[in-house]
Amino acid sequence: MTERTLALTPGEPAGIGPDLALALATDPPAGARLVAVADPDLLAERARLLGWPVTITEWAPDRPRSAHGGPVLEVLPVTCPAPVRPGHPDPATAGYVLETLTTAADGCRDGRFHGLVTGPVHKGVINAAGIPFTGHTEFLAEHAGVERVVMCLAVGDLRVALATTHLPLAEVPGAIRRDELETTLRILHRDLVERFGIHDPRILVCGLNPHAGEGGHLGREEIETIGPVLEALRTEDMDLRGPLPADTVFTPHHLEGADTVLAMYHDQGLPVLKFHGFGRAVNITLGLPWIRTSVDHGTAVDLAGTGRADAGSLREAVHQALALGART
């Protein structure tokens, strides 16, 4: 397997992200050269706290990985301006978290990295610093200069994409617009073909309302917005099924032969996927000019520095980035 260089942003410095990055250094995923975009002193201090003999070394793209006779974590340095206490998030580090993301994304854009794998960030801490932030997905889309991306989580053969992402529930109906939904489905279909290698993807599309609107008696979004978009795109030979009631779309009868479910909002689709495989799922951003995958969990600040954090989802995110990259 050809080794691919992936940027890794640990995310919230007071959470488990640094622990997970160090854990992967002790057992590196085959085929990946992981470069942590982070503060090397922060990572070294966390390694000391955990009692893990990981050598922190500065990454040089034209130099092979150092052979220190033990675990090594290569780092593209970004300085954290404030002290970090595991388990105690501090808004003073918010700018640092976003700088790691920007630096890693720039490295993907200029070809230094083959993809980006992100650890969990703490949205509340970033917003408490006075920085409007709704999530990785939206931040990376804006930085890449693309108008629309699609959030998709995958575990095994189950994939769930979202028509809207991190919105208050009251704002969801207004965000289900024909142009936005059509763009989402085009991105989803294209990346299933180009990134996942699925020749003719079958996409199941949820309705917004209970029972997919019950013929208009429980809402008209299915009749006035979702249905017409699906009809129009079917004329382009897209295999789109729906709008389907969300309470039955995840049953084996519907999922058999399906490649992805498109849910209308965050908590319509993701609880099912996370119940199916929490800790093994991967968050994938479709529509970016580079590959981006992430963990399916939060910062778990109560576990930071304890050595009890499970790196399973981050490892799966690396494997998914490698698999997606192999097809491009």
- Which residues are known binding-site members for a divalent metal cation? 166, 211, 266
CB 284 within 8 A of CB 314: no
Q: Can you tell me the distance from the alpha carbon of 277 to that of 274, in angstroms, rounded to the nearest whole number?
A: 5
**Helix axes of 40-50 and 17-26: crossing angle, nearest 10 degrees:** 70
Identify residue 7 by its one-letter amino acid code. Answer: A
Locate 287 and state its tokens.
């529509």
Annotated binding residues for substrate, written as ranges, equal 136-137, 274, 283, 292
> According to DSSP H, which parts of 38-177 are helical?
40-50, 94-109, 123-128, 136-144, 172-175
Length of the chain: 328
β-pair type (158-162, 260-263): parallel
Sheet holding 260-263, edge to edge: 55-58, 72-77, 32-38, 4-9, 115-118, 292-294, 282-286, 150-155, 158-162, 260-263, 202-206, 239-244
Q: Which residues of 286-304 are buried (b: 16+ CB within 10 A; e: fewer)?
A: bbbebbbbbbbbebbbebb
Helices (H), 80-220: 94-109, 123-128, 136-144, 172-175, 178-194
Q: Binding site: residue ranges?
A: 136-137, 166, 211, 266, 274, 283, 292
Decide the pairing of beta strands 32-38 and 72-77: parallel
Please tell me what DSSP assigns to residue 270: H
User: Cβ atoms within 10 A of the Cβ of 157, count?
Assistant: 8
Instruction: Say if strands 239-244 and 115-118 run parallel, antiparallel, or are unpaired.
Output: unpaired
Residue 15 · residue 5 · CB < 8 Å = no
